[in-house]
A and B are shown apart, each in its own frame.
Chain A
Amino acid sequence: MSEELCKFLKNRVAVAGLVVIVLMTLAAALAPALAPYPPDEQFFEGLTLEGAPLPPNATFWLGTDQLGRDLLSRLLYGARTSLVIGVLANGVAVLLGTFLGVTAGYIQGWVGTAIMRFTDLMTAFPALILAIALAAIFQPSLWIVAMVIAMVNWVQIARVVYTETVALAEREYIEACRALGANWPRVLFRHILPHLVPTMLVYATLGIATTVLLEATLSFLGIGVRPPEASWGNIIYENQTYFASAPWLVFIPGAAILLLALAFNLVGDGLRDALDPTQRGRE
């Protein structure tokens, strides 16, 4: 592992992404201590006399929103929503996708065919629209949003894992294991699953970027995380009508979403370069 770790650490952009992720995670975890105000408190002095939100100033560092709430505090709490949903939804998607992909690839036969045809079917739906359909049916809460995203995102992982499992299962060392009398759980857990870990790691990281964006989009459309619970997407949803007069209310949370998704994409790319066996020895 150390060779891969060295390779990853030499990738400066990926390390920068990792630093961003660590900082954002710390900010989210320490939100109650870091936030200058409670995220839901509406300040009388947080609005102008005409009732418009305040731009960034000494009292409210990032300004206030249309209800006179402190934007910085809401952003910090919103980071929790993004990260919790990102990790949870994507964790479920990776586990489900791996389980189905391995099952289909290892057992094959009609079970495998059925699973993979179902996967094909799922790819015929656009991710966001399927998520919208599901979210419209199940009244969304934070947990439902996470599950909806997981139900949409497992498909790609299942496909990749399936292809890799099929390739692994045909290798000679697997045949040798069987010939030596290893039973199927041993072959599966000792000799196949460990080889899938790099792939799972890469997709787990890249998938969080997709998940963060999907959650933000659903919340922006008004069917994700419901206000008053803060999420970066719903901060923009609530304040978008003010974008011309109070652009910070859209662009600061927008920058936060971009930064977090970019960080996970950079780290995922770095991991792929460091772990991918097909890239080794090339150039």
Chain B
Amino acid sequence: MGKYLAKRLGQSLLILLGVTVVTFLLLFLLPADPARQIAGRSASAATVESVRQQLGLHLPLWEQYLRYLGKLLQGDLGRSFVQRTEVGELVWSRLPATLLLMAGAIGFELLIGVPAGIVAAMRRGKPTDNAVMIASLVGVSAPQFVVGILLLYVFAVQLEWFPIGGYGTFAHLVLPAMTLGILGGGWYGRMTRSSMVDVLRQDYIRTARAKGAAEQRIVLVHALRNAFLPLLAMIGIDIGLFMSGAVVVESVFGWPGIGQLAWQAIQQVDIPIIMGVTLVSAVFIVAGNLLADLLAPLVDPRIRLR
């Protein structure tokens, strides 16, 4: 276990190092001169030059990268061009809102996807199965911003069940979390169905049936537990979908998380913030994948760690 843990941690750290190289190069590719951006449009050439010296932009590329990496390790994500604050602080202060939204979305995902997948697997090949599968494809094909605006229109504007947007109470969370959960719900439905179909075919299920266990118990206790495994591996992919989705959903609902931060940064071409969000979401995805790998053997002792 210890050896495996060390190996997977090492791999994850290497990927994160690669991630920092990519974000650094993207910042470097920037057509606009960061020194000019920070000094302001009216600054004199001398001021711009001194900012450039301060930022170390005159150094060779590899040295700039090392300085960039060194700052990252101290939690310094650079300074915003527009807001004149530390990117790290901005991201940090907005992270809780996004995490709350993600937790809500996971709830909706499981609530929509798992039952749909179970029902489809039990009625395999029948009209119910086909209907569920088409519905899940609709969920996957629906643009999130349209789903978000639709939910707002129906439940906030017409029915007035929920607030139109904002942050603070449980009622504020429902619509954005549902919007974010529908896409993943579609994927979970398909995944649950295919893994349930595989599990229901296995010998131990036949044994359970032969022993006269109730169908409900077979499906919910015997099969579901094993069918859940492939879903666990989705955590990393899920976080990726959430991070992308958060930008859209938070901008539609005015949810003050890092997605909205990124969206505001897009409007103002504030590249350091965009890179900061990119970096943080990559860290989350790598951590999610690591977590999925480490949890798998706890849920299923048959999986041996290599």
Contacts and interface: CB of A to CB of B under 8 A. Distances in A.
A28 interface: no
A125 B137 contact: no
A22 interface: no
A45 B23 CA distance: 50
B250 to A, nearest CB: 11
Interface string B1-39: 000000000000001101100110010011100000000
B244 A127 contact: yes
Contacts of B200: none
B142 interface: yes
Contacts of B144: 217
Interface stretch (A36-44, A91-99, A179-187, A254-262): A254-262
Most A-side CB within 10 Å, residue of B29, B141, B244:
B141
Contact of B157 (A126, A136, A244, A251): A244
B143 A137 contact: no
Nearest to A244: B157
A58 B243 CA distance: 43
Contact of B285 (A126, A258, A261): A126
A121 B15 contact: yes
B296 interface: no
Interface string B96-122: 000000000000000000000000000
A244 B263 contact: no
A47 interface: no
Interface residues of B, number: 50
Interface stretch (B43-51, B207-215, B224-232, B272-280): B272-280
A233 to B, nearest CB: 8
B98 to A, nearest CB: 12
Contacts of B157: 244
A129 B279 CA distance: 10
B262 to A, nearest CB: 7
Interface stretch (A63-71, A194-202, A219-227): A219-227
Interface in A59-105: none
Given A129-B262, A129-B277, A137-B31, A257 B152 contact: no
A49 interface: no
Contacts of B267: 222
A125 B282 contact: yes
A111 to B, nearest CB: 17
Given A257-B146, A266-B137, A134 B26 contact: yes
Interface string A114-144: 0001101101111111101110110100000
B143 A254 contact: yes
Contacts of B128: none
B149 A254 contact: yes
B266 A257 contact: no
B286 interface: yes
B195 interface: no
B271 interface: yes
Given A134-B26, A137-B31, A243-B152, A220 B247 contact: no
Nearest to B242: A126
Contacts of B153: 243-244, 247, 250-251
B262 A251 contact: no
Contacts of A126: 239-241, 243-244, 281-282, 285
A265 B137 contact: yes
A25 interface: no
Contacts of A223: 266
Contacts of A21: none
A268 B82 CA distance: 44
A275 interface: no
Nearest to B284: A126
Contact of A221 (B146, B149, B248, B269): B248
A129 B244 contact: yes
A118 B22 CA distance: 11
B12 to A, nearest CB: 9
Contacts of A108: none
14 contacts: A13-B130, A121-B18, A124-B282, A128-B243, A133-B274, A133-B275, A136-B266, A136-B274, A137-B271, A217-B248, A236-B146, A250-B149, A251-B153, A258-B138
Interface of B: 15-16, 18-19, 22-23, 26, 29-31, 130, 134, 137-138, 140-146, 149-150, 152-153, 157, 239-241, 243-245, 247-248, 251, 262-263, 265-267, 269, 271, 274-275, 277-278, 281-282, 285-286
Given A129-B278, A130-B278, 15 more contacts: A13-B134, A124-B15, A126-B239, A132-B266, A133-B23, A137-B26, A137-B30, A209-B141, A217-B144, A221-B247, A236-B146, A244-B157, A254-B149, A265-B141, A266-B134
The 9 closest A-B pairs by CB, nearest first: A128-B244, A254-B146, A261-B141, A262-B141, A126-B243, A121-B18, A126-B244, A126-B240, A124-B282
